[in-house]
Amino acid sequence: MRALVARGFEDLTAVQTEVASADVARDLLVSAQTGSGKTVAYGLAIGDTLLADAERLERAAEPLALVVAPTRELAMQVERELTWLFEGVGGRIVSCVGGMDPRAERRRLEGGAHIVVGTPGRLRDHIDRRALDLSQLKVVVLDEADEMLDLGFREELEFILEAMPAERRTLLFSATLPDAIVSIARRFQRDAHRIETVSDTRGHADIEHRAIRVMPRQTDAVVVNVLRQQDAAAAIVFCSTREAVRRLHQTLAKRGFSAVLLSGELGQAERNRALEEIREGRARVCVATDVAARGIDLSNVELVIHADLPHDAEVFQHRSGRTGRAGRKGVSVLLAPASRKRKAELLLSDIGANPVWSGPPSAQDIRELDEQRLHEDPAISAPAGEGELEHARALVERMGADAVAVALLRLHRARLPEPEYVQDPGEWAAPRERRAPAVGQGGVAAPFEPREPRRRADFGDSVWFRLAIGRKQNADPKWLLPMLCRRGGVTRNEIGAIRIFDRETKVSIAADAAERFEATALGSEKGDVSITRADGPDASAPAPETRTAERAWSPHPKPEFNKPERVKSGYPKRDRGNVERPNAERPMPERADAAPAFAKHRADRPVHSKPHTAKPWGARPGRAPAGEAAGAPAHGKPFRAKPAHRASGFRPAVKAAKHAAAGSKKK
């Protein structure tokens, strides 16, 4: 009690009062809101068990109490809280967390400890190496037990609980009580007293929930404006992935915010340095993932922004619990695009919050707030000192009152990040109801009445933009149109002609939407299509995507050849047109009658060979034409006589002999 009074405690929270009044011999199953003072609550329970009626603790030896936390940050926070709470009674607290030197932790354990605080993995490692002796343990605390199960520490948790003495006191604290937590409580607790300070129908009383509609690809800009509007002493922005954390942190740093990031890829020293900057006020914004931010205890956090929607209501509750801690007020802002509106409403409903949906704060609203804050700035309203007043009068006499006021206004605006231009998507329309088909007379369905076509925007004064992608990159309006709407924050009716060329594409945007499109879509990120301003395409040139039914003209037409009629034999084709009987056959002409016709056909046949290699009909390379002496050259090539084995049929005999020899070898 002396420690609580010295710390500035006037009243205990609900969970602290319930735990302090519970029986010191019973196990406890406690569910309370995040940030409701659970650490001090089970610190009081541990003190009742360890001290009993004594004024001070005995000399430290084997641990008497063990606190298991899911993350390093939460374990270190618990160590700090228990240190000042047990300092007056001689308590010694030792932490064992991942990322620290295990040899130094082993030396501290050998020196003795009353309370050990650690993460499941590191505690199991010390137990396996016999550096942590749990034989004298009187009480164990499982802090954020639901998060330990979500992170996959169930096996380590069961191993630690089984290594403890059977006669112990088990305190289980969790913001939510899923079935897995209830199962562990039934297995490792005995006649546990249930304490529940979480209401199923009411959200956290100290947190004001707000929901903001955002346009696609404007989330980062809306985060900037929300931070400028709230002007919180410290804020945490939650993202789903490490890449999103890194990208948003770079965006805020470029805008002039003093921001730090927390993700799983940072080492323990870097994480401690980032948290220390937030605590000391050197940084005002922390961009973090869900796992990295679990267990963070920053007393000055006044704002939480959900840049990405949480996966479920439990994660949403843990995120929001980073603010509004220990009776302080906080604000939780949820950003939701139109495509995720239904999920956002379900998340808010699950935690019992009923926020008012609104659009993002505009740049004009933020500038008006800046002027109001300037008038209320303590630097202006506070009384001036004697030296300051003399210097101020000298400045006014030298430069004039107007010049001094303008300089003050410029200095005030220079230290503030510039607000972003954002668009309010407006009220989301309710889903369209399906109408029953109209029925005419006699039960016959009425004729279908087509709807009026949507009117497109007036593109008399349109602005053209160039996309660095064309037909060779498979550019197609089917996916270009939704991409332009998503990146530029425009509707389909505000997009005009789309001209696709070989290596680029030009798009016309309505004049009233061009400024908005240029503010959000220009430039490119990793994997995006680069968009820049451009001049309109040549009106005299034909549209690139124009298609006609006829074949397109080509400068190199495909030649058409007149193939000659092929004759299978040397006889002329029979004319069966004058045959009287169907099966009748005309007698074959004599050879002497057919010879003149065959000679005429051979003379009329076109020659497709080159002029200098043209040969008479029937000539072949390597064979003398008929009527020439054997061995005479044919068309400039020497005549090659047929080998003797080919002429006499010797080759088949040689083949047969080879096959017979091969068969005998196989046998």
Confidence of residue 259 (pLDDT cuts 50, 70, 90): very high
Cβ pair 462, 499 in contact under 8 A: no
- List CB contacts of 292: < 8 A, sequence separation 6 or more: 262, 263, 264, 266, 271
How far is the C-alpha of 153 from the C-alpha of 175, rounded, in Å?
A: 17
- The strand pair at 207-214 and 330-337 is best described as parallel
Phi then psi for residue 611, to 5 deg, are -60, -40
Do both 180 and 226 map to the same domain?
A: no
Per-residue pLDDT band for 611 (boundaries 50, 70, 90) equals low
pLDDT single digits (tens) 383-411: 877 778 888 888 888 888 888 888 888 88
Residues 131 and 41 in one domain: yes
- Domain hosting residue 276, numbered range: 207-366
**What pTM did the predictor assign?**
0.56
Do 228 and 191 lie in one domain? The reply is no
Q: In three state form, how does the secondary structure of 442-462 look?
A: HHCECCCCCCCCCCCCCCCCC
CATH number of the domain enclosing 82:
3.40.50.300
- With bands split at pLDDT 50, 70 and 90, how would you rate the model's confidence at 276? confident
pLDDT digits (tens, 9 = 90+) for 355-388: 888 999 988 899 888 888 888 887 777 787 777 8
Do 185 and 254 fall within a single domain?
A: no
Last residue of a domain, one of 196, 222, 251: 196
Q: Are residues 217 and 141 in the same domain?
A: no
Give the DSSP per-residue string, 485-500: HHHHT--GGGEEEEEE
At 407 the pLDDT is 86
Looking at the structure, tell me whether residues 247 and 169 fall in a common domain.
no
Judge if 176 and 212 occupy the same domain. Answer: no
Could you tell me which of 79, 114, 65, 84 has the C-alpha nearest to residue 2? Answer: 84
Asked whether 80 and 66 are in contact (CB, 8 A), the reply is: no
Q: 301, 335, 366: which is the final residue of a domain?
A: 366
Q: What is the CATH number of the domain that holds 485?
A: 3.30.70.330
Residue 137 and residue 192 in one domain: yes
Domain edge (last residue) among 336, 366, 396: 366
Same domain, 29 and 147: yes
427: in domain: no
Q: Is residue 192 located within the same domain as residue 242?
A: no
219 shares its domain with 153? no
Domain count, the chain: 3
Size of the chain in residues: 667
Residue 576, in any domain of the structure: no
Say what the pLDDT of residue 192 is. Answer: 86
Q: How many helices (H) and strands (E) does the chain have?
A: 24, 18
Whether pLDDT at 96 is above 70:
yes
Query: Quick check: is 164 in a domain?
Result: yes
With 0-12 CB in 10 A as exposed, 13-18 as middle and 19+ as buried, what is 330? buried
